[in-house]
Amino acid sequence: DYIPGGYHPAYIGEYYKGKRYKLVRKLGWGHFSTVWLAKDTEDNKHVAMKIVRSAKNYRETAIDEIKLLSKLNHTDPEHPGHQHLVKLLDYFDHQGENGVHICMVFEVLGENLLSLIRRYKHKGLPIKFVKQIAKQVLLAMDFLHRLCGIVHTDVKPENVLLELEDVEQIVQFLENAQKQRKEMLKRVHSTRVSSASLGDQTSPIDISASIDEANDFPRTMSRKGRLSRRQTLITGSQPLPSPLRSKSNSFFVSPLDTNQTLPGTTPFRGSVSNFDMEDLSDNHSRVLESLSSISISAEQRLHQWEPPKAEELADDDILRVKIADLGNACWIYNHFTDDVQTRQYRAPEVILGAQWGCSCDIWSVGCLIFELLTGDYLFDPTEGRSFSKNDDHLAQIVELLGPIPQELIAVSRNGKLFYHSDLQRLRRIKNLKPWPLQNVLMEKYKFSETDAHEITDFLSGMLVPDPKKRMDAAGLSNHYWLNDCNVEGYVDREVGTRGEDISGWYKEVRLHHHH
């Protein structure tokens, strides 16, 4: 895709906007862009730079994204949700060999919530974190919906990113690791070690340990494949940078990105106790390969950190997040498409092809919070031989939450495709097995009755099939379940409000044209 209209073949060290930004390393990529860590030489700090593919449609989408992001920047920064949305710092055109690329500059953020869910092995995050995330996401949604007039339309774990406590410290840390890696490879190339033996099945980390000993290298690695949370890294003197605000400052590292596979991480299996580099011939390259995989282990360790368990959390530990990727967002008075939301987070009105608005984000927030609590999708529809994904999706919604109001089905574009003319029975799925949310939480996920009851009380305000009756973000942010969550910020609004005064809450706002 590095062709005309495609990605810009960016490289480390390349300058942008004159000499202002210098690329440091790749952070990630998406359908529209590649995203780079860059040094802002004017403000002397690091930023994330999104370089958009140059083809016309990508360009146009990017221009919309910039307009939406600019609206956030120009809307009341005092609102407590403002700080939980990604911030556009700069944007400009860059002339490359594959065309003109729009570049957007953001603050550098950490991992997304999907990778956090994975780190908790799909068993759910500690409730305390979920409450904190819920509160921040709801405050952000209130800001977006009520103050900016924007619908995000793609709320999901991948689009909520952890804030980094100290970007410069983490960048420094990775740069040191890289230096160390280069240094190490240089020394391995030039060092003779006596008598080689290859064969034992062991992890690459063990190999490095024995090489360290043989060569009297400074001990850089632990013998263990995994880094325990409280260990210090690399030189043994540099503590792990922590994005968690915690007095104890004892754990929690976040890498800049975990989506990308690191080069050279393929583990070489086999141990090297003592060996002579010059005798290795065939194995030489494999050994070097394994060494390069070891020497990036600083990064790997960042990738391997284990998140804290509930009982290890201090009272003032707080996990801060930001909503990112406004790439699919739209205006309450200008929906760019009706084909919105990622499947698992898609609201019933969108599935049915009825009118939708801000409240579709609230549905997604409900799905997101359930997923954070349990590590599983709330709805994960699949296609069968006799029914579609949409059929299954609607059936799952009904099983969990009860019937979808007939009035909604009646006014929807596709209702008749899914439902018999009674607007009650699905055409292709009979025998629904009701399993209400509270029971699911207790029976499948083993929450206590109290927890399950409270969670259900909270989530059922969001998981209202009728988009008009769904509770709004600010009201929900004051729900009692979030009382003890330790997140600052309050919007004066009663729990239970249902977007009555929010324009575009459940349908696109028509602009009046004066002729």
For the annotated binding site for ATP, the residues are: 50
The whole-angstrom separation of Cα 35 and Cα 32 is 10
Among 108, 171, 240, 321, binds ligand ATP (CB under 6 A): 108
Range in contact with ligand ATP (rule: CB under 6 A) among 23-31, 179-187, 244-252, 295-303:
23-31
Give CA–CA dist 272/280, Å, rounded.
Answer: 11
Q: Annotated active-site positions, please?
A: 154
Contact at 8 Å (CB) between 19 and 112? no
Residue 368 interacting partner from Mg ion, ligand ATP, none (CB closer than 5 to 8 Å by kind): none
Q: Cβ of residue 110: shortest distance to ligand ATP, in angstroms?
A: 7
Cβ-proximal residue to ligand ATP, closest one: 30
**Residues lying near Mg ion in the complex (CB under 5 A):** 30, 325, 327
Q: Is 35 in the site for ligand ATP (CB under 6 A)?
A: yes
Pairing of strands 99-106, 330-331: unpaired
Q: List, as residue ranges, the binding site.
A: 50
31 touches ligand ATP by CB under 6 A: yes
DSSP string computed for 343-365: GGG--HHHHHT----THHHHHHH
> Taking the C-alpha atoms of 223, 229, 234 and 238 in order, what is their torsion angle to the nearest 10 degrees?
-150
Q: How far is the CB of 144 from ligand ATP (least distance, A)?
A: 16
Q: Could you identify the residue written with the tokens 């954070």?
A: 372
Cβ closer to ligand ATP: 116 or 474?
116
Token pair belonging to 323:
């909503």
The binder of 28, among ligand ATP, Mg ion, none, by C-beta within 5 to 8 A per type, is ligand ATP
437-to-61, 432, 445, 496 alpha-carbon distances in Å: 38, 15, 11, 19
Q: Which amino acid is at 326?
A: L
* Interface pick for ligand ATP out of 5, 6, 30, 264 (rule CB under 6 A): 30
- Sheet bearing 15-16, strands edge to edge: 15-16, 21-29, 33-40, 45-52, 99-106, 88-96
- For position 270 contacting ligand ATP by CB under 6 A, the verdict is no
Closest approach of Cβ 30 to ligand ATP, in Å? 2
Q: Read out DSSP for 311-334?
A: GG--TT-B--EEE--GGG-EETTB
Number of H helices, E strands in the chain: 15, 10
36 binds ligand ATP, rule: CB under 6 A: no
Question: Distance between CA 11 and CA 24 in Å, rounded?
Answer: 8
| 165 near ligand ATP (CB under 6 A) | no
Helix (H, G, I), strand (E, B) or coil at 389: helix
Which residues sit opposite 91 in a β-bridge? 104
Q: Of the listed pieces 31-39, 70-78, 340-348, 390-398, which binds ligand ATP according to CB under 6 A?
A: 31-39
342 contacts ligand ATP (rule: CB under 6 A): no
156 or 470, CB closer to ligand ATP?
A: 156
CA distance 322 to 29: 18
Tell whether residue 325 is a contact of ligand ATP (CB under 6 A).
yes
Q: Does 390 bind ligand ATP (CB under 6 A)?
A: no
Map tokens 């609230």 to a residue.
362
**Which of residues 165, 206, 257, 299 is near ligand ATP by CB under 6 A?**
257
| Tokens describing residue 333 | 């008075």
State the minimum distance, in angstroms, from the CB of residue 201 to ligand ATP: 34
- Shortest distance (Å) from residue 250 CB to ligand ATP: 25
One of 109, 429, 437, 462 touching ligand ATP (CB under 6 A): 109
Nearer to Mg ion, 30 or 403 (CB): 30
255, 299 Cβ separation under 8 angstroms: yes
Contact between 15 and ligand ATP per CB under 6 A = no
**Counting contacts by CB under 6 A, is residue 503 touching ligand ATP?**
no
Q: What beta strand segments (E) does 30-124 contain?
A: 33-40, 45-52, 88-96, 99-106
- Quote the least distance from Cβ 32 to Mg ion, whole Å: 5
Span near ligand ATP by CB under 6 A; candidates 103-111, 122-130, 433-441, 496-504: 103-111
Contacts of 282 (CB under 8 A, 6+ apart): none
User: Distance between CA 212 and CA 196 in Å, rounded?
Assistant: 15
- Residue 240 CB: number of other CB atoms within 10 A? 23
487 is in the binding site of which of Mg ion, ligand ATP, none (Cβ under 5 to 8 A by kind)?
A: none
Is residue 29 at the binding interface for ligand ATP, with CB under 6 A as the rule?
yes
Residue 365 lies near ligand ATP (rule: CB under 6 A): no
331 touches ligand ATP by CB under 6 A: no
Q: What does 264 interact with, of ligand ATP, Mg ion, none (CB < 5 to 8 A by kind)?
A: none
Q: Is 5 in the site for ligand ATP (CB under 6 A)?
A: no
State the chain's maximal CA–CA distance in angstroms: 90
Q: Which residues lie near ligand ATP (CB under 6 A)?
A: 27-33, 35, 48, 50, 106, 108-109, 256-257, 259, 324-325, 327
